[in-house]
Amino acid sequence: MTTTIGFIGAGNIGGTLARLAVAAGYDVVLSNSRGPETLVDLVTELGGSARPATPEQAAAEGDVVVVTIPLKAYRDVPVEPLRGKVVIDTNNYYPERDGHVAELDDESTTTSELLQAHLPESHVVKAFNNIFFEHLFSRARESGDPERSVLPIAGDDPGAKATVRDVMDRLGYDALDVGPLAEGWRYQRDTAAYAGLFVVDDDWAHPRQATRPLLEEKLATAQRYRDMA
């Protein structure tokens, strides 16, 4: 059972997921690149369920561990303490930030497959990458709420996806299983199922609900564009 979520990265997405996780009753262990002492403000805000750590400690102490850092830093993610664990990957590829990665530019792999290759004995699930962090917070709804949104997940291990589905459920979202990690391109940057999915008429202050039919339509649009290319 997941009781503690580790975070490698505690910025916009890591901080937001940690807030949702603490509200849902999880313990969280947070880490970043600069060291635990720089996480005091966030941990104080989150209260007694949160503690600061190094990436190695967050990886070791989390039952499930979220990797939410700039993609260019993925090789820094500690391998050994994540062995056998479920790893949630929120990362996206922005060449202007991350530098060019040839295998991503020629689409011979995907971002989460890169992380999976770096963590060969972990179970990577791509999730929470296709929603702007402010929307991630504001659109979270309890199970059964008619305004609840659906987010895509992809991964090669069915058990890991079931674990992530449970975590997402408690954090405020339903999950739509898109398939193995190789299918993660369907909701990567610049697809119809990416963050703009929540936005109508460029109104980022009022994100819409991502219903299952809407998400399925956008995922199908990604396929049509690829078929035309």
Ligand X SMILES: NC(=O)c1ccc[n+]([C@@H]2O[C@H](COP(=O)([O-])OP(=O)(O)OC[C@H]3O[C@@H](n4cnc5c(N)ncnc54)[C@H](OP(=O)(O)O)[C@@H]3O)[C@@H](O)[C@H]2O)c1
Residues near ligand X, by CB under 6 A: 8-14, 32-34, 38, 55, 68-71, 73, 76, 90-92, 129, 132-133
Nearer to ligand X, 15 or 123 (CB): 15
- Residue 33 CB, nearest distance to ligand X (Å)? 4
The residue of the chain with the least Cβ separation from ligand X equals 11
Nearer to ligand X, 99 or 158 (CB): 99
- Residue 126 CB, nearest distance to ligand X (Å)? 10
For the record, the structure tokens of 210 come out as 């991502």
Nearer to ligand X, 110 or 129 (CB): 129
- Residue 67 CB, nearest distance to ligand X (Å)? 8
Nearer to ligand X, 200 or 224 (CB): 200
How far does Cα 75 stand from its chain's mean position? Answer: 17
Angle at the Cα of 73 (from 68 to 79), degrees rounded to 5? 80
